[in-house]
Structure 1
């Protein structure tokens, strides 16, 4: 079983920064986010036993979404001044670990992750590595749209950094009310407060889910509506849907995670190697992370937990993660 873990670098850094109390290195610099990121990385490796690991990051440059809709993410607060320098330290640590990182101006980490997951799903005789399963680690619900059978799963921390949940298609539908591929349609109708795009004013999640169950997609909703077929929709809702068409179409474009980012991604470069390198040890000593140094010996590449068919046993994975994060 070749398993690729893809970590949403910015999401885990932010979660670590806000979940942990201020922690300072011997030189006085704040390093709580770095510590949280490092310990999460080791837990994930120990839990899921990946053969390959990659980390995706956002870039400070405006993305195509911002160019499409200038108010996109406009209400998000600026990155805390104590977090900014920690981003560079995490990059330095990942280089020392030999872990591949990917980022590209104009795109969010979500899009880079989507592209990695998409390329990893394709079996190729030309490829030196064919990945059997991708596990995405993030706190961002938007990424749930990438879940696909047992091929692509999402692991989301649920309480700080101590607990987490693994999402397959069933878990996504239970949480979101729709299957993974319809999450952009759901956001097209309801909008997204965090990313600050509108959807259709007056349409909430419950109504949106019912509409998608009836019409199947935003495109089909308007296609049938153009023929006068609005199903059992009341007149007030119909007027909202008609008036909000332009906004819904734009919102769906904003919600869709790209899987075609023009970035060179060689999966073989993401092969997980021993993490206890001299360079990593030097950085961890400098930061005062002696407990992390001690744990490196437990972050080796072990045999994956498999069932009789050779597939990862999700129940066993969940049992492992509860033991690890509990």
Structure 2
């Protein structure tokens, strides 16, 4: 815990300003499935995912004290990945009605807190987050991406980290390059190739038969990427693996087009529009009361600091995340 507090203070007091990027849909989905049912007594409306999202925003913002923040959402329309691969995410069930309504409520929360929201037809929130992180980094801004999606680990760099939950929703890990190396034994930039080889059942992306995580990691350690494997296919051992790769590498190359986060989405990162700015606390209080989030009311900041940093709330925020080095 002391290590976590020291790390967050390092961000808050660092020479470079910090941008917090929230993966809206990912956080909402995680909260919906991880938290027990919670309904508004007056209407019966399900709000457990909204509660989880709000709790995450207040906790992380209170701990890291960003100068800038933004949130990205998926659009309901098909993406370029669906056009490339018709079966992309085809196995996923329809979004439950009780979750659809909560996504709309999360938009209301984001708007009331004056957090800029980004969504672009044809792209996923991951792509928007990757693009915003790159553009902010180019302007000398440190970035922490708050998400429930391990796919975001591929955009981690010296100036970009990712805060991701483990099994428990409130138990999160702050990933940097070294932490990714420790988890997968490869560099963040190699993750698209890794997932292209292993596949991704959650996105309905088939992997190379017989290639698991350990084999994929060893291949990438030895050859760097898919091109390296293709160029040195004759060096792949054992022979059975070489034969399988010779047959299925074309599929892996197609997979990588799906597993790679696009970082040139047509969105602009303007410091001014993403600056943590003054908000109407009374408006947010009214919304929280409507949703019956009475326990969260004391944690709302009384004001936003002059430097764009979220001011301390009335009740201290307990962090439940761990820094992995």
State the Cα distance separating 1:267 from its structure 2 match: 3.1
- Determine if contact 1:40/1:161 at 8 Å carries over to the other structure: no
Moved more, 99-108 or 155-164: 155-164
- Aligned counterpart for 1:24 among listed residues 39, 44, 51: 39
Are 2:172 and 1:169 equivalent residues in the alignment?
Answer: no
Are 2:161 and 1:157 equivalent residues in the alignment?
Answer: no
Are 2:311 and 1:325 equivalent residues in the alignment?
Answer: no
- Determine if contact 2:22/2:147 at 8 Å carries over to the other structure: yes
Which residue of 1 is the match for residue 59 of structure 2? 43
Are 2:17 and 1:2 equivalent residues in the alignment?
Answer: yes
- Determine if contact 1:72/1:195 at 8 Å carries over to the other structure: yes
* In 2, Cα distance between equivalents of 1:141 and 1:240: 27
Which residue of 1 is the match for residue 248 of structure 2? 244
Which residue of 2 is the match for residue 126 of structure 1? none
Moved more, 288-297 or 65-74: 288-297
- Determine if contact 1:9/1:56 at 8 Å carries over to the other structure: yes
Give runs of ≥4 in structure 1 deviating > 6 Å.
302-305
- Aligned counterpart for 1:112 among listed residues 128, 151, 165: 128
- Determine if contact 2:136/2:269 at 8 Å carries over to the other structure: no
Q: CA 1:301/1:33 → structure 2, altered by over 3 Å: closer, same or farther? A: farther
Q: CA 1:279/1:157 → structure 2, altered by over 3 Å: closer, same or farther? A: same
Q: CA 1:232/1:15 → structure 2, altered by over 3 Å: closer, same or farther? A: closer
- Aligned counterpart for 1:262 among listed residues 262, 266, 272: 266
Q: Secondary structure at the match of 1:243?
A: helix
State the Cα distance separating 1:28 from its structure 2 match: 1.9
* In 1, Cα distance between equivalents of 2:305 and 2:184: 34
Q: CA 1:232/1:27 → structure 2, altered by over 3 Å: closer, same or farther? A: closer
Are 2:284 and 1:289 equivalent residues in the alignment?
Answer: no
Which residue of 2 is the match for residue 139 of structure 1? 148
Are 2:238 and 1:222 equivalent residues in the alignment?
Answer: no
- Aligned counterpart for 1:195 among listed residues 203, 212, 217: 203
Q: Deviations over 1:246-274 (max 9, x none)?
A: 10100111111000011233232111124
Q: Deviations over 1:70-116 (max 9, x none)?
A: 11111122212111011111111111111100011110100000100
Q: Deviations over 1:5-61 (max 9, x none)?
A: 001101100111112211112322111111111111000101111111111011110
Q: Secondary structure at the match of 1:5?
A: strand
Count residues in correspondence: 299
Q: Secondary structure at the match of 2:98?
A: coil
State the Cα distance separating 1:288 from its structure 2 match: 1.1
- Aligned counterpart for 2:92 among listed residues 63, 76, 79: 76
TM-score, length of structure 1 as denominator length: 0.86
- Determine if contact 1:275/1:296 at 8 Å carries over to the other structure: no
- Determine if contact 1:135/1:154 at 8 Å carries over to the other structure: yes
* In 2, Cα distance between equivalents of 1:13 and 1:200: 31
State the Cα distance separating 1:161 from its structure 2 match: 2.9
- Determine if contact 1:158/1:164 at 8 Å carries over to the other structure: yes
- Determine if contact 1:98/1:273 at 8 Å carries over to the other structure: yes
Which residue of 2 is the match for residue 213 of structure 1? 221
- Please report the RMSD computed on the Cα atoms of aligned residues, expressed in angstroms: 2.1
